[in-house]
Amino acid sequence: MRSDTPTTLLHHHHPVDHEKHQSLAFDRAVKEVGLGHDLSAVAARLLTELSLTERLHLLDGDVPFWEGLWGILCDRYNRKPFVIGAIPRLNIPGVKFTDGPRDVVMGSSTAFPISMARGATWDIELERRIGNAIGLEAKAQGANYFAGVCINLPRHPAWGRIQETYGEDPVLLEPPDASVVFCEEHRQLAREVAHRSMVLLKNYTINNMPLLPLNNADISRLALIGRLANKPNTGDKGSSQVFSPTVVTPYQGLEEGIPNVEIILEDDDRSESAARVAEKADVAVVVVGYDASDEGEYMVPSLQNDPGLSELFPPTNNPDPEEMLSIVQGNPAQGQQSSASARWGRRLPFSIPQDESHLPDIDIEASAIKYDLWYGQSLLDKLGVDAAFPLGYGLSYTEFRFSNLEFEPRTEPTGHNGVKVAVDVENTGQRSGHQVAQVYGYPNMADFPHRVLLGFGSIYLQAGELKRVFVDASLRPIERWVDGQFCLLVDHLEIEVAAYAGDKDGIRKVYQF
């Protein structure tokens, strides 16, 4: 580096240290931005108020090293905001960091469902409400920066922190005072999110009737089985741990939700004890999944079931009609109360393959890796194999039908091309329920995914109700980078509205650009 480089970088006028004085420059800057002044110009003027020492002070954190290290190792990580760039002389508060993503790590906050569970709602407006609640709790506890939106795409389910992202498709990532901290409103919101993030994958038919929904009037005893059945489980206990004042377990939630049913608890995964308890009940619910000991800063060595779980569920073509399986991967604090009142109808934010051989090759010892387009649903489509459960899949207690598909061109705020998709959604079943109109594009381009998610819209319909749904779909996912810009390389696109990727009842139509 040339010896005059620092002089070149800091050639603008700035007050020397002995000229420093108290100033309300930051307060003036905030007012100017609020009045619509150019943000960059306002920031440049504010910068001239800083001395060289103050400018250099912006390059690292404000907490002294040993004090900060002691706080992490001997007290609690992020109990208070981590501050960087505070300049009291100019009234600049600095960046006050709190970690996430389940909610504010500081203090005692509401533990919302993990990001992957929120992705399963396919509900942008619901995520906005969560973001607003998190912002209020962060501000009330002294923070102004929330590091809780993970935009990493889960290429492989062995990733130890996969629960911190929203799903495998980039389109799913686009949506995200002390009296408000852990307030009743936020606890109810956490419960609502948990309620709306549950995905039903299978619902066996018994005597020509689906097992679910259960009729509480027909149940006097319910067996609740598994090591997670009565264990507080809000996710990992690393940097994202939220310290909620109360945590509701599945057992506590069911006791509150169905007080007239006797709950027989067996919080053990041993098959002998599970079978013994199940025999005493009208129906058995088995809770399996992950807790903090299963997730963290590492790759899961194998995706095979734990041997104990295999004993609980031996291979059979005749599953016990009175046994239900609840799979938990990072639970919400208030979410367990939703177990008793679940109305299924949400969708997987990722695909589940039939075999590990259908996943991308991965070397946990590698020093470099190529991130290409072939993972998740796009890889399954390329291999020509069906998913065990495709992207966007999820059962409901009712049935829906799409019809009357129409398009209209639109331009996104970013300048990219888009299309407004309109479709009629009808609830043809006997119960109310949620449906997600998923918009897929089939671009027919070489070395590119066969099917691409372009957008989605969620709707709640009463039995027999029909409504028109409008989805602002983006064409950005099918654009290619050419000569320094994103371009559309096709002049038409087959667009499908479906309930999930590969839905045989989806409807298609060609859109001409």
What DSSP string describes 319-363? --TTEEEEEEES--SSGGGGGGG-------SS-B-SSGGGSPP--
The pLDDT of residue 184 is 74
**What burial letters (b/e) apply to 299-323, b meaning 16+ CB within 10 Å?**
ebeeeeeeeebeebbeeeeeeeebb
Average pLDDT over every residue of 333-342: 44
Q: How confident is the model at residue 273 (pLDDT cuts 50, 70, 90)?
A: confident
Predicted pLDDT of residue 352: 94
Q: What is the mean pLDDT of residues 59-81?
A: 86
Q: Which tokens sit at 277?
A: 């308890």
* pLDDT reported for residue 68: 84
pTM: 0.81
Name the band, by pLDDT with cuts 50, 70 and 90, for residue 306. Answer: low
Q: Residue 90: what pLDDT?
A: 93
pLDDT band at 296 (very low <50, low <70, confident <90, very high): low
Is residue 321 over pLDDT 60? Answer: no
Question: CATH 3.40.50.1700 occupies which residues in the chain?
Answer: 196-352
**Which whole number is the average pLDDT over 433-446?**
96
**Statement: 400-512 belongs to CATH 2.60.40.10:** yes
Q: Are strands 433-442 and 492-498 parallel, antiparallel or unpaired?
A: antiparallel
Asked whether residue 14 carries a pLDDT value surpassing 70, the answer given is: no
Q: What is the mean pLDDT of residues 115-141?
A: 89
- In CATH, the number for domain 196-352 is 3.40.50.1700
Question: What is the C-alpha separation between 129 and 125, in angstroms, rounded?
Answer: 6
Q: How confident is the model at residue 245 (pLDDT cuts 50, 70, 90)?
A: confident
| pLDDT at residue 299, as a whole number | 61
Nearest residue to 399 via CA among 456, 324, 464, 325 = 464
Residue range 435-452: mean pLDDT, rounded: 96
Distance CA 332, CA 121 (A): 14
Q: Tell me the average pLDDT of the chain.
A: 84
pLDDT bin (cut points 50, 70, 90) of residue 6 is: very low
What pLDDT sits at residue 327? 62
145-164 CB burial, b ≥16 within 10 A, e <16: ebbbebeebbbbbbbbbbbb
Range with the largest mean pLDDT of 251-265, 377-391, 482-496:
377-391
Burial (CB count <10 Å: 0-12, 13-18, 19+), residue 456: buried
Pairing of strands 400-411, 417-427: antiparallel
From 167-176, 327-336, 443-452, the region with the lowest mean pLDDT: 327-336
Q: Outline which parts of the chain fall under CATH 2.60.40.10.
A: 400-512
pLDDT value, residue 5: 45
Each residue's pLDDT tens digit, 205-232: 888 888 888 888 889 999 999 889 999 8
Looking at the predicted structure, is the pLDDT value of residue 200 above 60? yes
Whether the pLDDT of residue 174 is over 80: the answer is no
pLDDT at 335: 44
Average pLDDT over residues 342-351: 80
Q: Out of 60-74, 175-189, 373-387, which region has the weakest mean confidence (pLDDT)? A: 175-189
- Rounded mean pLDDT, 340-355: 79
